């Protein structure tokens, strides 16, 4: 296996950033990260220690070009339905417009997914008055297939509230210990989007992840089960769902023949980084594939103050992704 390059320095250091969703728009790399402001609340697994109320858009003309901050693209004060916690976002381009997707808590403290639009990839983005009907939980990722059909992927355990939706409605009492052990783990939620890119064509539906023998990945298999940060990319005709394992801190992936799954566990992309969370996107740019991710190195390890970076990823001949260690020489 090829040796990893040295860890990259953060893409930007003037603000704390996380959860980078990278896309190639207009021939450049555009990165849509979260913006960490930090607060004094304890890290109790609820996510309340994050303070995130706006988004900046970043771009790079080339892979070794300086990273430009285009400034604030959207602020929570302009989103009528949202109350707090603008977590991991994504963006998409269709119909001559740029779409920005973001999770935030509504006025009742329930995570929903919002959308905003712009004529430019750098924004500013104009938020829709309401969240996307039928959405819940966190970490939206939108994948547009070669045939133009668009799919939204969402989901996050613990602070991301996915456990609370197991009955189809929000149950505030549902704890983070269900399911557990040998029970099938909760899977990513998927829905095809309408052509307007602002509504879902169908209800979000869970796709449970499979092991190589066809059985479900178990909830107790915390080194491999889906926790948060879904992202889908297509490589050699296969659909790759990458994700974070949360409390075990791995970036992993699973593969399917369909954008709607089921996805079969494929392996690990990145070993744990400095900090609690890890969250990725994978993008092809000028014939090479890159992993964008974050750690907490810029803040000396403070969990809610993160910084984004990237590195090239390599595939093996059988389509598996080579596992990387973040801090190897």
| Interacting residue ranges for ligand FUB, rule: CB under 6 A | 18-19, 34, 50, 87-88, 138-139, 156, 228-229, 277, 279
Q: How crowded is residue 143: how many other Cβ atoms within 10 Å of its Cβ?
A: 21
Output the CA angle 19-21-27, nearest 5 degrees.
150
Catalytic site includes residue 54: no
Neighbours of 253 (CB within 10 A): 22
In the bound state with ligand FUB, the residue whose beta carbon lies nearer, of 50 and 250, is 50
Closest separation between CB of residue 248 and ligand FUB, Å?
14
Shortest spacing between CB 207 and ligand FUB, in angstroms: 18
Write down the catalytic residue from 19, 36, 139, 163.
19
Written as one string, the DSSP assignment of 175-233 is -TT-S-TTSBPP-EEEEEBPTTSSSBSS--EEEPPBPTTSPBPBTT-TTTS--EEEEEE
Buried b (16+ CB within 10 A) or exposed e, 91-108: bbbeeeebbbbbbbbbee
Which residue among the candidates 36, 163, 228, 295 is catalytic per the annotation? 228
Q: Determine the Cα–Cα distance for residues 218 and 309; give it in Å rounded to an integer.
A: 31
Nearer to ligand FUB, 19 or 163 (CB): 19
CB closest to ligand FUB, residue no: 87
Q: Quick check: is 53 catalytic?
A: no
Report, in Å, the least distance between residue 161 CB and ligand FUB.
Answer: 11
Report, in Å, the least distance between residue 276 CB and ligand FUB: 8
Q: Pick the closer one to ligand FUB by CB: 145 or 206.
A: 206
* Minimum CB distance to ligand FUB smaller for 38 or for 267: 38
Residues marked as catalytic: 19, 228
């Amino acid at each position: 296996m090829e040796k990893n390059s040295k860890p990259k320095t953060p893409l930007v250091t003037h603000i704390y950033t996380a959860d980078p969703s990278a896309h190639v728009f207009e021939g450049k790399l555009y990165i849509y990260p979260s913006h960490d402001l930090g607060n004094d609340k304890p890290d109790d697994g609820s996510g309340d220690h994050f303070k995130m109320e706006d988004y900046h858009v970043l771009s790079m003309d080339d892979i070794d070009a300086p990273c430009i901050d285009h400034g604030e693209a959207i602020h929570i004060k302009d989103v009528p339905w949202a109350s707090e916690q603008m977590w991991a976002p994504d963006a998409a381009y269709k119909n001559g417009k740029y779409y920005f997707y973001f999770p935030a808590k509504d006025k009742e403290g329930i995570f929903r997914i919002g959308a905003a639009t712009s004529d430019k990839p750098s924004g500013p983005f104009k938020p829709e008055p309401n969240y996307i009907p039928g959405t819940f939980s966190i970490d939206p990722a939108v994948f547009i297939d070669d045939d133009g059909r668009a799919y939204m992927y969402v989901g996050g355990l613990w602070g991301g509230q996915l456990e609370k939706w197991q009955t189809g409605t929000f149950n505030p009492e549902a704890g983070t210990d269900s399911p557990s052990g040998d029970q099938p783990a909760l899977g990513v939620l998927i829905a095809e989007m309408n052509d307007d890119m602002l509504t879902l064509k169908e209800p979000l539906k869970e796709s449970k992840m499979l092991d190589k023998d066809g059985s479900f990945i178990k909830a107790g298999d915390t080194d491999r089960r889906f926790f948060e940060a879904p992202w889908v990319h297509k490589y050699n005709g296969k659909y790759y769902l990458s994700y974070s394992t949360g409390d075990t801190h791995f970036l992993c992936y699973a593969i399917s023949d369909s954008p709607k799954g089921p996805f079969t566990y494929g392996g690990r992309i990145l070993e744990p980084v400095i900090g609690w969370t890890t969250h990725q996107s994978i993008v092809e740019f000028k014939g090479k594939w890159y992993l964008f991710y974050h750690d907490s190195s810029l803040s000396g390890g403070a969990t809610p103050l993160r910084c984004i970076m990237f590195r090239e990823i390599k595939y093996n001949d059988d389509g598996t992704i080579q596992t990387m260690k973040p801090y190897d020489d």
